[in-house]
Amino acid sequence: MTWYFDSHIHLSDPAYASDMQFILKQMEYLKIKACCVSMDYNNSLKTLELAEKSDLVLPFIGIHPECASEEIENISKLIEDNYNRISGIGEIGLDPTYVKNNDDIKKQNQVFETLLSYAEKYNKPVSIHSRKSLDEVLQIMTSYNTKHALLHWFDGSKKQLQRVMDMGFFVSYGPVMIYASDKQTLLSKTNESQILVETDGPVRFSRCFEMKSGQISFIPSVIFCASTILGKSFDEMASLLEKNSNSFLGI
């Protein structure tokens, strides 16, 4: 039996709270496991609570660059106290969108590097945010032993993609790939063993999704789109993604 994986979704976001029982049943019925990433310390606590309710929820805890002003000590202790319970560390990374001054830049870098060091220490995969900062992120990562790394919602150039492939990292593509030709082209240039799929819910998607929040039930559609682009059957694509997901997770 093949399991499907959503490699990056914010299931512990308040947007999903009222529907959580239905979502967990849906995951069970559709055979989908979810890498549930976190935004900050409090959200990480909710992620751990959610993982207690279902073993289909794979908890990633961390600090998103938007929340980099948060004190690092709390999340550091949470990782140290729960390293044997967590599946990975994320969402972490860099993003100049949330930077107002040099202190913000330093803080983002400090948080990112601190959490990469914990991933290295406990041999955990990392889910990385790299919007408008991919070259800087990759440069920092050369200093850490983090082969189990995912550049989620990959949006780089073909040249940057090749660098990511050479570094042995994974990249993920989501629902936007269904209607965006540039993402389809990037997928076709990605090493098959380094492809993952995601929803990044509750992000909203346009076109055929009519600005609906990303739902974990979108994953089969993303897999089908990827299979079409790569000339595979749905089952072949799903099997490949299951293998890649397990490799990313180190299981």
Partners of 195 in the β-ladder:
171
CATH number of the domain residue 104 falls in: 3.20.20.140
pLDDT tens digit at each of 251 positions of the chain: 899 999 999 999 999 999 999 999 999 999 999 999 999 999 999 999 999 999 999 999 999 999 999 999 999 999 999 999 999 999 999 999 999 999 999 999 999 999 999 999 999 999 999 999 999 999 999 999 987 999 999 999 999 999 999 999 999 999 999 999 999 999 999 999 999 999 999 999 988 888 889 999 999 999 999 999 999 999 999 999 999 999 999 98
Which strands, in side-by-side order, build the sheet including 170-173? 4-9, 32-36, 57-61, 88-93, 126-129, 149-151, 170-173, 195-197
- Report the C-alpha gap between 35 and 220 in whole angstroms: 16
The answer to whether the pTM exceeds 0.85 is yes
State how many domains the chain has. 1
- Residue 231: domain span: 4-249
- Report the C-alpha gap between 248 and 120 in whole angstroms: 14
